[in-house]
Amino acid sequence: MQVKDEGYIIKILKYGENSLILTVLSQAHGKMTGFIKSGLTKKKLGVYQLGNKISFNAYARLEENMPQFRGVELLESNVVHFLTDSKKLAVLSAFCELFNISIPENEPLEGLVRFIYRFMDNLGDEMWLQNYAVLEFRLLYFLGIGLDLGACAVTGAIDNLAFVSPKSGRAVCLEAGLPYQEKLFKYPHFAFEKNVVPLKEDVLDLLKMNAFFLKKNFFDAHGLQFPISRANLEKILI
């Protein structure tokens, strides 16, 4: 196997004296884990950091073997965004752990990769948290956690959708949901409509909804522990 790709580092493990095992969310090949010989050197210290964007060549004699990453080049360093902002650092930690656990190895990310790039390439933008919340929302669909948000579960109406039911994962219109609004999630219009600018509380509510369905329909269903870094995220962001 020989591939050339690029992507974002989401996990770093020390191996032996000065080598590394790196996990990358790559553009064309999905999540890839590979061995890097002599990666722990002063020259490479700034390259192998969580969130950094790299290009690489991956080699393996057999498909089932862990590939070796060679010719690694730093395309974009995101350390400055995270080390100077505790909230972005918390989101990075949650992002890396959540995606490392939930994304299968060597499976194309399809449409999800566009939202990964939108989030990571725009960390200096004021919409960075909104971009991350939408990325997690798209992860639900990638994992097969289907939410039915096209019409109201009660009336069948397609207009004035205002809530999402945690029980059914279906949309609820304003009229039907208003009496029960404290038990429902807000409908994430900004996840679908480009011209909708959400309030911070709307973004936090989407993160809360994402966490609920990820835990219930993926982590609990597969007997996995929900990442602590992600479970505590909303509290840190308030």
- The domain that contains 24 carries what CATH number? 2.40.50.140
Residue 231 inside a domain? The answer is yes
pLDDT digits (tens, 9 = 90+) for 217-229: 999 999 999 999 9
Residue 155 inside a domain? The answer is yes
- 128 shares a domain with 24: no
- 219 shares a domain with 122: yes
The C-alpha angle 56, 58, 59, rounded to 5 degrees, equals 150
Residue 182 inside a domain? The answer is yes
- 228 shares a domain with 135: yes
- 59 shares a domain with 141: no
Mean of per-residue pLDDT scores for the chain: 93
- 134 shares a domain with 197: yes
Taking alpha carbons only, the member of 113, 139, 128, 134 closest to residue 189 is: 134
Average of per-residue pLDDT across 97-113: 94
- 233 shares a domain with 118: yes
- 124 shares a domain with 68: no
Number of domains observed in the structure of the chain: 2
Distance (Å) of CA 64 to CA 30, 34, 55, 82, 215: 16, 12, 22, 35, 30
- 230 shares a domain with 126: yes
Residue 84 inside a domain? The answer is no
Task: Please tell me the predicted confidence (pLDDT) of residue 223.
Answer: 96
Distance (Å) of CA 49 to CA 104, 116, 230: 22, 17, 20
Residue 65 inside a domain? The answer is yes
Residue 96 inside a domain? The answer is no
Average of per-residue pLDDT across 200-217: 96
Which of 24, 58, 77 lies at the terminal end of a domain, its last residue?
77
Average of per-residue pLDDT across 30-57: 89
Helix H segments across the chain? 79-83, 86-102, 112-121, 128-142, 174-177, 200-214, 228-231, 233-237
- 54 shares a domain with 130: no
C-alpha–C-alpha distance, residues 3 and 8, integer Å = 16
Which of 50, 77, 104 lies at the terminal end of a domain, its last residue?
77
Residue 140: alpha-carbon gap to chain centroid: 10
pLDDT digits (tens, 9 = 90+) for 165-178: 999 999 999 999 99
- 118 shares a domain with 233: yes
User: Which amino acid, 61?
Assistant: R
- 124 shares a domain with 185: yes
Average of per-residue pLDDT across 63-89: 88
Average of per-residue pLDDT across 77-103: 93
Residue 20 inside a domain? The answer is yes
Residue-number span of the structural domain to which 140 is assigned: 114-237
Q: What is the dihedral of CA 20, 59, 120, 201, to 10 degrees?
A: -80
pLDDT at residue 113 is higher than 90: yes
